[in-house]
């Protein structure tokens, strides 16, 4: 099976200016890229599907570094436990398809809400039973007794396991991490700091102890897994860097020492601020009927401003800061994930090109897969886009502008059949960009 994208504007994910040319896909990989100026064009194999791109943008599929496919677009972050696992799995599979429909061909999970939801979803996608992105499956959140999401009440039976699994001491963390590995996760998620959503546990508070973080990263190293951390306090960020956590979410109150540590570890570590969940809670949650007292607003604003300031500094220091905005709440629903690129340009001082590199090439590095770039040998996870995202990043938020979505050389969404010279896009009156 082979596909030739002819005369595309190739935005290759490396940060290089887009170039005009052809991209040949054979099997699941990109076999050849040929700029229009090149003289040698290998004949495509017989039976090749030829896509006349007429200058439409061909770019790597987007990577979501902070996916919660089993979040249910609910009002409270902790309403999941009321949903039976059968319905919950169906919703998770629906979200997986939605992400692919929106151009996200890979997702790094930042916690499942029941222990096996991610694992089962990943396996079903990998077997081709359901459409979805490449998925690194996560555990539920591991934190301490009384930590963010520990909703147990002494007068009630603990019942079935909830979103957050409370552990105390390195032994319990080790056991929980090993159990998650037994069930087949790729990512162990820990919550070493507080969060604004739980007023009694503010963002600046550190919840896990040093030996508890060390216990989880030790299990991950032994089993070849990754560790992702919700770390807003300065001390929690330092612990995570010290013990080899792979990706730090938020890093809101990382102080000078924590930033120095992140900079020193920038070749192995990633940071993702998850701005959208905070920004939309502040500016858009009113339309969903969420209360916002002055005190709540002040807390959220403080978190937002601190995060933005920190990310600008980390950018200057060369740390790989990734998008991913904790989508899956009522006020920040699934499917809008590409919005994150605009937070990067509008709040954090990134150029559109830098935002795209973060969402593609760096995302591929986080996944540790040959994706995120349009180059020979890479897996063919590609988007054919009606328009130029460098001029308007919002194009990527509109699934109608994604003319083609390919994962591993197979179209999830095939471009419409075109007669020779046809330039009309699926959106009717718009022309595919030819500039
Ligand atoms: Zn999250």
- pLDDT-above-70 percentage for the chain: 93
Per-residue tokens: 248: 């730090």
DSSP character string of 289-337: T----HHHHHHHHHHHHHHHHHHHHHHHTT-EE-------BTTB-TT-G
| CA of 66 relative to ligand 1 center, distance in Å | 6
In the structure, what pLDDT confidence band is assigned to residue 77 with cuts at 50, 70 and 90? low
| CA of 435 relative to ligand 1 center, distance in Å | 39
Contacts 24+ apart (CB under 8 A), 417-425: 418/51, 418/52, 420/52, 421/52, 422/52, 422/54, 423/54, 425/56, 425/386, 425/401
- In a 3-state reduction of DSSP, which class is residue 86? helix
pLDDT of 435 > 70? The answer is: no
Ranges assigned E (strand) in 381-431? 382-385, 402-407, 410-413
| CA of 2 relative to ligand 1 center, distance in Å | 38
Q: pLDDT, tens digit, for every residue of 168-222?
A: 999 999 999 999 999 999 999 999 999 988 888 989 999 999 999 999 999 999 9
DSSP character string of 166-199: E--HHHHHHHHHHHHHHHT-SEEEE--B--TTST
CB 393 within 8 A of CB 352: yes
| CA of 403 relative to ligand 1 center, distance in Å | 30
| CA of 78 relative to ligand 1 center, distance in Å | 12
Which phi and psi (to 5°) does residue 409 adopt? Answer: 80, -5
| CA of 120 relative to ligand 1 center, distance in Å | 20
| CA of 326 relative to ligand 1 center, distance in Å | 5
Secondary structure letter of residue 41 according to DSSP: -
| CA of 141 relative to ligand 1 center, distance in Å | 9
| CA of 37 relative to ligand 1 center, distance in Å | 45
Out of 125-134, 176-185, 233-242, 295-304, least confident range: 295-304
| CA of 105 relative to ligand 1 center, distance in Å | 19
Average pLDDT in the 135-164 region? 80
| CA of 142 relative to ligand 1 center, distance in Å | 13
End-to-end CA distance of the chain: 30
The model's pTM: 0.93
| CA of 112 relative to ligand 1 center, distance in Å | 10
Q: E strand or H helix at 271, and its extent?
A: strand 270-272
> Residue 151's pLDDT is what?
77
Average pLDDT in the 133-162 region? 81
> Residue 40's pLDDT is what?
59
| CA of 354 relative to ligand 1 center, distance in Å | 23
pLDDT of 161 > 70? The answer is: no
Per-residue tokens: 83: 């949903």
| CA of 309 relative to ligand 1 center, distance in Å | 20
| CA of 222 relative to ligand 1 center, distance in Å | 25
Per-residue tokens: 301: 């604003």
| CA of 407 relative to ligand 1 center, distance in Å | 25
> Residue 289's pLDDT is what?
84
> Residue 418's pLDDT is what?
53
Secondary structure letter of residue 424 according to DSSP: B
| CA of 150 relative to ligand 1 center, distance in Å | 15
- For 68, 114, 146, 224, the CA distances from 80, given in Å and listed in that order, are 12, 9, 18, 29
| CA of 389 relative to ligand 1 center, distance in Å | 26
- For 186, 319, 331, 339, 354, the CA distances from 267, given in Å and listed in that order, are 21, 8, 34, 26, 17
Q: pLDDT, tens digit, for every residue of 65-75?
A: 999 999 999 98
| CA of 316 relative to ligand 1 center, distance in Å | 25
- A 10 A CB-CB count for 20 gives 13
CB 341 within 8 A of CB 359: yes
Instruction: Look over the chain and give the mean of its residue pLDDT values, rounded to a whole number.
Output: 92
| CA of 86 relative to ligand 1 center, distance in Å | 22
| CA of 108 relative to ligand 1 center, distance in Å | 11
- To which residue do tokens 């996944």 refer? 367
| CA of 160 relative to ligand 1 center, distance in Å | 21
Per-residue tokens: 50: 């030829």
The rounded distance, in Å, linking the Cα atoms of 350 and 151 is 39
| CA of 248 relative to ligand 1 center, distance in Å | 11
| CA of 14 relative to ligand 1 center, distance in Å | 27
Average pLDDT in the 78-88 region? 87
Burial of 316 (0-12, 13-18, 19+ CB in 10 A): exposed
The rounded distance, in Å, linking the Cα atoms of 90 and 417 is 32
| CA of 277 relative to ligand 1 center, distance in Å | 9
pLDDT of 431 > 50? The answer is: no
| CA of 134 relative to ligand 1 center, distance in Å | 18
Q: E strand or H helix at 30, and its extent?
A: strand 29-35
| CA of 261 relative to ligand 1 center, distance in Å | 23
Q: pLDDT, tens digit, for every residue of 93-102?
A: 999 999 999 9
| CA of 191 relative to ligand 1 center, distance in Å | 10
| CA of 77 relative to ligand 1 center, distance in Å | 10
Beta-carbon contacts of residue 172 (< 8 Å; ≥ 6 apart):
none
The rounded distance, in Å, linking the Cα atoms of 425 and 289 is 38
């Amino acid at each position: 099976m082979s596909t030739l994208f002819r005369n595309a504007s190739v935005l290759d994910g490396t940060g290089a200016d887009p170039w005009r040319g052809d991209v040949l896909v054979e099997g699941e990989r990109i076999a050849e890229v040929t700029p229009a100026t090149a003289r040698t064009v290998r004949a495509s194999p017989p039976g090749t599907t030829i896509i006349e791109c007429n200058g439409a943008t061909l770019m790597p599929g987007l990577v979501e570094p902070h996916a919660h496919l089993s979040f249910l677009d609910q009002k409270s972050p902790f309403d999941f436990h009321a949903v039976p696992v059968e319905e919950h799995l169906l919703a998770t599979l629906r979200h997986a398809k939605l992400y692919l429909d929106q151009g996200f061909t890979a997702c790094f999970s930042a916690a499942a809400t029941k222990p096996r939801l991610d694992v089962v979803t990943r396996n079903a996608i990998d077997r081709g039973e359901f459409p979805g992105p490449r998925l690194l499956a996560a555990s539920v959140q591991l934190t301490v007794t009384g930590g963010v999401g520990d909703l147990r009440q002494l007068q009630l039976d603990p019942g079935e396991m909830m979103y957050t699994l409370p552990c105390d001491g390195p032994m319990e963390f080790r056991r929980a991490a090993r159990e998650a590995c037994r069930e087949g996760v790729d990512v162990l998620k820990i919550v070493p700091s507080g969060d604004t959503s739980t007023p009694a546990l503010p963002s600046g508070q550190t919840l896990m102890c040093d030996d508890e973080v060390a216990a989880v990263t030790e299990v991950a190293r032994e089993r070849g897994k990754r560790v992702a951390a919700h770390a807003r306090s300065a001390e929690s960020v330092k612990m995570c860097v010290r013990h080899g956590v792979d990706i730090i979410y938020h890093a809101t109150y990382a102080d000078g020492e924590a930033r120095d540590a992140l900079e020193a570890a920038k070749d192995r570590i990633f940071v993702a601020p998850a701005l959208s969940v905070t920004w939309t809670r502040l500016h858009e949650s009113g339309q969903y009927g969420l209360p916002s007292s002055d005190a709540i607003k002040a807390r959220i604003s403080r978190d937002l401003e601190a995060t933005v300031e920190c990310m600008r500094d980390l950018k200057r220091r060369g740390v790989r800061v990734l998008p991913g905005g904790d989508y899956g709440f009522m006020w920040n629903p699934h499917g809008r994930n590409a919005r994150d690129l605009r937070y990067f340009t509008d709040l954090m001082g990134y150029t559109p090109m830098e935002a795209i590199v973060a969402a593609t090439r760096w995302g591929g590095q986080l996944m540790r897969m040959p994706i995120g770039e349009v180059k020979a040998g890479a897996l063919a996870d590609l988007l054919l886009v009606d328009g130029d995202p460098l001029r308007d990043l919002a194009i990527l938020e509109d699934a109608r502008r994604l003319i083609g979505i390919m994962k591993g050389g197979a179209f999830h969404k095939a471009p419409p059949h075109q007669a020779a010279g046809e330039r009309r896009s699926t959106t009717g009156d718009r022309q595919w960009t030819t500039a």
